[in-house]
Structure 1
Amino acid sequence: MSDDAVGAEGSQVPYPVEWEADVVLRDGSTTHLRPIRPDDADALQRFHMAQSERSVYLRFFAALNRIPERMLRQFVTVDHTDRVALVAVRPASELSDGEEILGVARFDVVPGPGPRTAEVAFNIADSVQGRGLGSVLLEHVADAARERGVRRFVAEVLPQNRAMLGVFREAGYAVEQHLDDGFVHVGIGLDPTDRSREVMADREHRAEAVSMAGLLGARRVLLVGPARIGDDDGEADPHHSLEALQAARVVASHRTDPGDTVLTVLGVAGETAGPGEPAAAAGSAPEAPPTPAVSSPAVVPAASWDDVGDIDLLLVAAPPDRATEAVRRAAVRGARGVVVLSAGYAETGPEGLARQRELLRVAHGAGMRVVGPASYGLVTNAPGARLRASLAEHAPPDGVVGLFCQSAPAAVTLAKTVVRRGLGVSALVSAGHRADVSGNDLMQYWQDDPTTGVVCLYLETLGNPRKFSRVARRLAARKPVVVVVAGRSGHVVPPGHVVRSTRAPRRMLDEVLTQSGVIRAENTHQLMDVAQVAAHQPLPRGRRVGILAGSPTLLTLVSEACGAAGLDVREAVALRPGASDEDVARAVETLYAPDACDAVVVVDVPVVVPRSDGIARAVAAAAARTGRTTVASMLGLHGMPEVLRAPYPAADAVASAPDENPDPRHAPSGTSLTGDGVRVPAFSTPEDAVWALGAVVRYARWREQDHGAPVRPEGVDRARARELVEAALAGSGQEMPLDDGRAAELLACYGIRVWTARTVRSADEAVDAAREIGWPVALKIATPALRHRADLGGVKLDIAEESELRADAARMQAAAGSLVPAVDPALEVQAMAPPGVACVIRSREDDLFGPVVSFGLAGDATDLLDDVSHGVPPLTDVDVARMVRGVRTAPRLFGYQGAPTADVAALEDVLSRVSVMADDLPELASLELYPVTVAEHGASVLHATVRLRPAGRRTDPLRRSLPE
């Protein structure tokens, strides 16, 4: 029974490997969850015997020194259907492949009528109580129960077991409890609620933020370099010279304040190196520069693992076959994470991918997060807590930009760009192949990090777009988030990145980013442009712009650029060549007058005379005095030049300043401003300055908008929908369509009524159907290819007489026979819906994005022009409204050219119900409502096509877990 278990009815149920997951606990450590196996009997007995008497009593309501053999066999023998158990495990010892159990969660289905109910029980090791393992196990066992059709948990708990009662109460599910005969009887409804989703998101945020804090706040760092060339078999490995150079670069770059961080070097320093002076790395390539001596007393060489004490962070610059052993040894020395600088993993093929998964298995089982492989490392500039664990020779300076990227080459480019522009970073993290730590983790950390004011992400792949959307949306509500996606569409997968395939439209990623509220940049140049504004200027209050230009020609060009960027030019001043200081002062005073504008664009490109610093200094001083958002494009200036820096005014000047918000340190944007003054960003071209300002203005408007509430339509029967789906898929292992009757019944569970259509095969049957339905009627060819093609004779509306219906039926069957001769020319008769605008609503389950909902107006023009909007559930009411109004043909719904205004509220209700249905049912392979006719009052769904398939695991399920 190692791979399969016998189900309740004797069928073989495969071991549910998809239930295995690595999770982050409350303290930021990790552990592995998996279904229990029969060979866990000895580990379960050891787990039980290590528990305190109190813990045993609370679990079994009696003293029990050992689990009896029969009970033990029953505990570890499950069918993964009616009897399910999950265990949390970790390695039993430093270099052992065995595991010890940290916690158990199980449920047993209770026979009886009504919704499937199961009795649930938990047992958490004394050594890990208080770390949130119970709540994680509840999430995972509840998710498994829902997959098996269980809708409710019940449990008996002793009143003194406050910890377990707290887990139930705080989970966010609908919980009932009462005291009877000395026990607390608990009932838990497993249908997700807004509260349960919020609880899971909050716990996930805290746990992942703490785990990142453990990485970025490391103080005791161990660097493990490559083994000496030929020390095993005497043959040189061509990769060793590169690895040795990498290790040497890390040591060389480790310049910290004395006592700030302790770096221990193992396998890199020469045998004769003295304390604090490690020699060049063994095995370095001859052409590599010698390793500089490191004078900081914070560097300590180690000859063997016996010389290594407690550590916080492990850096690995060794070949893959040595890395896993290093992780095992570092785990018992307290390491919270590992940064893998070396390559040679998933990018090399299946064997490399297996090595990468083994490394993750060992690290997560030991409680460690993994950055990499092929990482450029990480840098932290937090005051008093600096960390250099990177291949960079020189770390970027201090600042408020949190910078994340994936590949090492991208990190090199971004680090150099930051330095060249005079920006600074709070932290820089390169995730390499992103096997574990991703941009989602860093966003969780940066949300509450006081030293980070703006977040910049350079993404090559999105492994979990659904999670990215919700995490980024939460972060963007507090801090600007700027994103570049390599390849624009996210469909490009570099070697080494393990990402699910997708069939979503190429612009689907644009919709995800829009829904998230992030600022989308097209390239790293724009990424840094926006960072300059967001990091050192307050967010503008509106889109009113003032322009100060060095000539009328420049003024015209900049005004045009502002209009294209969606900005409204309110004040415009053109200086004459050689303008006096008095002229400059008057122009600046005009633009920075109270309520003159919300932002100022300054452009000065002298043609003959050299550029004077007078304009730059006057503008910087005005920006510091008023807190007005300012950008500049001035000849010879780029980045954050000193000439565009100005101190904040004195306190008495601030108090008497005429502007409505004179102190930029208290700007309403919430953007962190650094230093003791204002720095105005300078751009190479006026277009760059205007584009960056426009992007920040749009973000500021998004921050101020109501983002809505999750759509929760009334009249939804999830339990019945689940029953229908399970019945339809019973015994089927592949995608299948639902007939019209079952499709209508399933949609009715979500309050979507499909107008009944009668299928007929002769004129006589058509007439009988029309008499039953009531005149007038619509007649359609039932063949899917012709059902909506009025231009090919496939649709006839408003048929009010029997003779007309007979003639139309004969004509349609003849047309269908000629166009699709191999298909039976069946017809459909349907009651006439109120006239209106025909729309189409679709949903498709994508392996990467999960449920993708789309909306458009019906018609060939819309299809040919791809005039369709998309959304990834769960959606808010604002998201739904944006989708309806986001198509170019949307004016047809709002009284275009005198037509009646459609009932958009009714249309949005249908779209909301489809989004909830798609979110609830991963088995919903595809759904099409076509047409949905939106009249002045109401929306009519005239036809539905539904296809189901066995559900796979979504990238962002209703449980917390690390990447698969």
Structure 2
Amino acid sequence: MTDDAPPRPPVHALLADGTTVCIRPARRSDHDQVQGLYEEMSPENLRLRFFSPSRHSAGLAADRACGTPRPGYRALLAETSGQLIGIAEYDTGGTGDSAEISLAVADGLHHRGVGTLLVEHLVSAARAEGITSFTADALSDNHEVLRLFADLGLRTARRFEGPEVRCTIALDPSDSYLTAVEERGRAADVASLRPLLRPASVAVVGAGRKPGSVGRAILHQIRTGGYTGRLFAVNPGAHAILGVPCYPSVGALPVTPDLVVVAVPAHEVPDVAEECGKAGAGALLVVSAHLTADHADALLAACRTHGMRLVGPNCLGLSNTDPGVRLNATFAADAPRPGTAGVAVQSGGVGIALLDGLSRLGIGVSTFASLGDKYDVSGNDLLQWWESDGRTDLALLHLESFGNPRAFSRTARRVTRRMPVLTVDAGRTDAGRRAAASHTAAAATRTMTRTALFTQAGITATRSCGELLEAAALLHSQPLPAGPRVLIVTNAGGAGVLAADACAEAGLALPAPTPELVDDLLAVLPDGAAVGNPVDATAAVFEDQLAAAVDRITRYGGIDAVLVALVPTAVAVATGDDLVRALTRAQTPRTKPVVAVRLEQTLPVELLPTEGDGTVPAYAEPQAAARALAHAAHRAAWLARPVGTVPDLDGVDTERARALVDSYLDAHADGGWLEPRVCADLMDCYGIRQLPWAWAETEDDAVRAADRLRGADGRVVMKGHWPGLLHKSAQHAVHLDLRGEHQVRAAFRDLETRFCGLLTGVVIQPLGPRGTELFAGVVQDEVFGPLVLFGLGGTATEVLADHAARLAPLTDHDVHDLITAPRCAPLLFGAQGGGPVDLGGLEQLLLRLSRMASDLPQLAEADFNPVLATPDAVTVLDARIRLVPRRPQDPYLRRLR
């Protein structure tokens, strides 16, 4: 424990085998438990821990861990079901940025990840307190602890000193460490989900004897769905329900259930959960709704205390179509068709729609989970399950909220390289959320934040369930296009025009075919065909002719995808030709995607079987086909791009920046906007270039500053300042183009008169050169973390709303995307003939802004507007920064919500 930092709250996390443990600080009341932990250890383990143990070793260790708090010392305990199973400590000795660590794990609990998990939490706590390295002494034959240190993912050096080894561990937050933590978390998460998604036994609590209850409906679905495990019902008033043996309580079951389905009134849920926990159940599926806050707290407490994973409450249920499981624990009307799509939703209605759509398309479902109010199991958990289940090749998500978006983003970036991950972007509106405290806050909408998350993680974000199914059909059935170039083929000119408009609106390219391709196509198409883009094959085209044309196009190197728009004609009917069969009779897989548009089709999207066991997607509207192709092209481009890296930056003084922030918040307990001099000092810590300026509090000071800062043309700018002033132009607190002493004095008097009692000083700057005015800023989102925004600046930045955003920390690819995404991007690359601006300087500004936001969680907003971009430099002309008291949080620390 330390006396200079508030205690860390208890958190729950998963061991390697999926067991839930509580990680919490040691307390004085834990003394006897800690002493008992050591006293129950074997002599060999005591030797490895204390080197030369004595009969007093256990008591002294307990005294240290549970004694009077002291600076630089912290002890964390791991416990499960109230039993202490491990302890880890660090001690700086009261000085320095290095700490010595030690740990001990109860006998019989080795090799389950207790020590590793404790050390990870120690690392997080130590880094938050400025500790940069750990040291540890171990006996050279203590292979377990030496392997633990080596496998952490942190840089570890060893020095052998006789029978002992001195280990030094650097606590730098490298990507290798995050990857190692992530991999351990993934394995533990998957292990914890097995009782939920692959249960060997299931009990349903709340199945009534009469039809009409949700519990009875789920029991019926499980029984008739061919579940391969043992099934029980829990009802004190019956011996059997629907032919399923019934018992009066969970504790009376003949076996401990892996999964318990809870479908009882809300007020009964906490007691049932506690009973399940005491009986040793592995997981709960709570479909009950309308839990109060107290009910919710009690439910989650029971799950955490007894180590049960939880889906729900207020959910539709879950399903696993694996032939070895065949579990359909939902109350949807129809059982999902077995297949390869993993589905996780928060809305039961959306879940039913997706299950029906996937079944109709023939894609089917591998695993389905309706997350409901999402107290525990989340989309992140399901992504990790699908990544390792060996059955899922397509992931579909409907998430209305995110518990830990940064952890979700890291998981999704990994999973999307193995399979498409699609989502319905729910909750896009942000009515009532725009608190226009600054340009940055006004621009940072919830939609923009979610879009940044999905874009950076490679997730295909759609705007409706229909669009999601359209994209899923193509991604499931066709190869990815190498790019956005589409060639349209049609048997009706009007349908081709509609398809061309849809492709252009979706951002796809429609290149003209080369003369070689034109000749190739004219050789197989009927007389009168027009080979452009679209290719009008005319109503006289036969099946064989269309098949030959599509075959030639797919082998042509200048096209990435083919869209065939067809309408039924009397010509085809008379000849017995089936033009659709021209697309489905290919017996070998095509290397480029081919999609059909059938304007007479009644269903929005269908998958048409081919002769070679494949499928071709057919859409009722050209807009749907174009959207699906655009999503596929975006995915292909994301996969083709190397994984981005966060560049190293020179000239960054993080320690000085943190000291400035701490000093300001010590003097301003509630935080606030920095005055110009402190703001400039903080920017200087990150090497962010500013236009020269001076602070003046009197008229004479302003004149002297203007004389010193005048540019070659002799003109300066004067900006008024007082605490809380955000929009100087709107307040008419700016004087431009001031020449000579008289104008400077007149401007100062004007500000002093109009803002009497407010004005605390003025900022004097030389008049900036001509250039492009841009905007850059950061907003610290409470859930998503820091969001970096960029776009067109100046006084009309909010009106024009030409902004893009990415979540920090920015990689080199993220910076490129930020610069090229706004509509104003062509101006930066010299579109008007003036040559490009300093793009390298612009990248550096955004990277340094990202680093500042990542280093300083207290940075609530940073607003740089305008930022002047010229061919020679990128310079911040005006800056505002707001700080708030906020403790740093480790978004990658392994913990359950």
Q: What residue is the counterpart of 1:390 in the other structure? A: 330
Alpha-carbon distance change, 572 to 834 in structure 1, aligned in 2, over 3 angstroms: closer
Shift in Å, 1:325: 4.4
Residue 659 (structure 2) aligns with: 723
- CA distance in 1 between counterparts of 2:169 and 2:269 reads 44
CA shift, 1:637, in A, is 5.9
Matched, 1:195 2:163: no
TM-score scaled to structure 1, two decimals? 0.82
**Aligned-pair CA distance for 1:411:** 1.9
Q: How does 1:100-499 map to 2 (within 5 A)?
A: 100-112=83-95, 115-180=96-161, 182-225=163-206, 245-255=213-223, 260-267=228-235, 270-271=238-239, 273=240, 278-279=241-242, 300-304=245-249, 305-331=251-277, 335-345=281-291, 352-489=292-429
Moved more, 434-443 or 362-371: 362-371
DSSP 3-state at the match of 1:898 = coil
CA contact (8 A) 1:548 1:574 kept: yes
CA distance in 2, matches of 1:447, 1:875: 26
TM-score relative to the length of structure 2: 0.88
1:759-798 equivalent positions in 2, closer than 5 A: 759-770=695-706, 776=712, 778-783=716-721, 789=729, 794-796=734-736
Gaps of 5+ in 1: 92-98, 229-240, 280-292, 294-298, 346-351, 494-500, 649-676
1:623-674 Cα distance to aligned partner (Å, 9 max, x none): 74534312223334647768x21232xxxxxxxxxxxxxxxxxxxxxxxxxx
- Structure 2: any 5+ residue segments left out of the alignment? 434-440, 514-532
Specify the code of the residue in structure 1 equivalent to 2:893: R
* Residue 442 of structure 1: how far off its partner (Å): 1.0
Provide the rounded CA distance (Å) in 1 between the counterparts of 2:325 and 2:685.
Answer: 56
The 8 Å contact of residues 541 and 700 in structure 1, kept in 2 or not, is answered as: yes
Q: Provide the residue aligned with 1:657 in structure 2.
A: none
Residue 748 of structure 2: aligned partner: 813
Q: Match of 1:357, SS?
A: helix
Contact 1:422-1:640 within 8 A present in 2 as well: no
Amino acid at match of 2:568: P
Distance 1:844 1:72, change over 3 A: same
Residues 329-338 or 806-815, more deviating: 329-338
Mapping of 1:655-674 within 5 angstroms? none
RMSD: 3.3
Whether the aligned pair in 2 keeps the contact of 1:221 and 1:312 (CA below 8 Å) is: yes
2:787 aligned to 841, 848, 852, which one? 852
**3-state SS of paired residue (2:480):** coil
Question: Contact 1:89–1:101 (CA<8 Å) still a contact in 2?
Answer: yes
Q: Residue 43 of structure 1 aligns to which amino acid in structure 2?
A: Q
Paired residue secondary structure (2:157)? strand
1 CA distance for matches of 2:577 and 2:303? 56
Measured after TM superposition, the shift of residue 744 of structure 1 is 3.4
Distance 1:80 1:357 in 2: 33
Q: Deviations over 1:307-334 (max 9, x none)?
A: 3313322222233454444444544665
| Paired position in structure 2 for 1:951 | 886
The alpha-carbon deviation at position 864 of structure 1 amounts to 1.6
Match of 1:7 in 2: 3
Whether the 8 Å contact between 1:226 and 1:319 is mirrored in structure 2 is: no
**TM-superposed deviation, 1:110:** 1.7
In the superposition, relative to structure 1, how do residues 945 and 555 fare at CA in structure 2: closer, same or farther (>3 Å)? closer
Query: Are 1:637 and 1:682, in contact at CA under 8 Å, matched by a contact in 2?
Result: no
Q: Is the 8 A contact 1:401 1:531 kept in 2?
A: no
How far off its partner does 1:543 sit?
2.4
- Between 354-363 and 781-790, report the one with greater CA deviation: 781-790
Residue 534 of structure 1: how far off its partner (Å): 1.0
**Greater displacement, 420-429 / 609-618:** 609-618
Select which of 810, 814, 839 maps to 1:904. 839
Partner in structure 1 of residue 436 of structure 2: none
Contact kept in structure 1, 2:861 and 2:881, CA below 8 Å? yes
- Distance, in Å, in 2 between the alignment partners of 1:258 and 1:226 is 18
> Structure 1 residues 124 and 730 mapped into 2: Cα distance closer, same or farther (>3 Å)?
farther
Distance 1:165 1:724, change over 3 A: farther
Structure 2 CA distance for partners of 1:689 and 1:605, relative to 1, 3 Å: same
Q: Is the 8 A contact 1:262 1:300 kept in 2?
A: no
- Show the counterpart of 2:77: 87
1:663 is matched with none
Q: Supply the AA of the counterpart residue of 2:509.
A: D
> What is the correspondence of 1:447-846 to structure 2 with a 5 Å cutoff?
447-489=387-429, 504-508=444-448, 509-569=450-510, 570=513, 572-577=534-539, 579-595=541-557, 597-606=559-568, 614-622=578-586, 624-634=588-598, 635-636=600-601, 638=603, 644-648=608-612, 677-730=613-666, 733-770=669-706, 776=712, 778-783=716-721, 789=729, 794-796=734-736, 804-817=739-752, 819-824=754-759, 826-830=761-765, 836-846=771-781
Instruction: Tell me the amino acid that sits aligned with residue 355 of structure 1.
Output: H
Letter in 2 for 1:961: R
**Distance change (3 Å), C-alpha of 1:465 and 1:806:** same
CA distance in 2, matches of 1:690, 1:912: 35
Residue of structure 2 in register with 1:348 after alignment: none
Instruction: Confirm or deny: 8 A CA contact 1:227 1:267 kept in the other structure.
Output: yes
Are residues 1:33 and 2:29 paired? no
Distance in 2 separating the partners of 1:639 and 1:919: 45
Q: Which residue of 2 aligns with 1:891?
A: 826
Verify: 1:48 aligned to 2:38, yes or no.
yes
Q: Aligned partners of 2:660, 2:461: CA distance in 1, in Å?
A: 42
Aligned amino acid, residue 808 of structure 2: P
Which moves more between the two structures, 376-385 or 830-839?
Answer: 830-839
Tell me by how many angstroms 1:731 deviates: 6.8
Contact kept? 2:214, 2:263, Cα under 8 Å: yes
Q: Deviations over 1:551-572 (max 9, x none)?
A: 1211221122122222233554
Instruction: Give the letter for the 1:338 counterpart.
Output: L
CA deviation vs aligned residue, 1:432-456 (integer Å, no higher than 9, x gap): 1011111111112223443212111
Cα distance change, pair 598–334 in 1 and its aligned pair in 2 (3 A): farther
* Equivalent-residue separation in structure 2 for 1:935 and 1:600 (angstroms): 43
Tell me if the contact between 1:379 and 1:390 (Cα under 8 Å) persists in the aligned partners: yes
Asked if the contact 1:376/1:390 (under 8 Å) is kept, the reply is yes
The percent identity for this pair of structures is 31
TM-superposition CA deviations, 1:908-947 (whole Å, max 9, x none): 1121011012112111222233443333233333444333
**Alignment partners' CA distance in 2, 1:427 and 1:446:** 8
Alpha-carbon distance, 1:206 to partner: 2.9
Q: Following the alignment from structure 2 to structure 1, what is the Cα–Cα distance between the partners of residues 676 and 167?
A: 41
Q: 1:378 aligns to what SS in structure 2?
A: strand
CA distance in 1, matches of 2:442, 2:693: 35
Greater mean alpha carbon deviation, residues 876-885 or residues 481-490: 481-490
Distance change (3 Å), C-alpha of 1:702 and 1:201 = same
Deviates more, 1:679-688 or 1:632-641: 632-641
Aligned residue identity for 1:863? E
Assess, with a 3 A threshold, how the Cα gap between structure 1 residues 269 and 393 changes in structure 2: closer, same or farther.
Answer: farther
The amino acid across from 1:718 in the alignment is: T
Contact (CA 8 Å) 1:454, 1:535: kept in 2 or not?
A: yes
Deviation of 1:847 after TM superposition, in Å, equals: 1.2
Distance 1:64 1:260 in 2: 55
CA contact (8 A) 1:743 1:944 kept: yes
Number of residues of Structure 1 aligned to a counterpart in Structure 2: 860
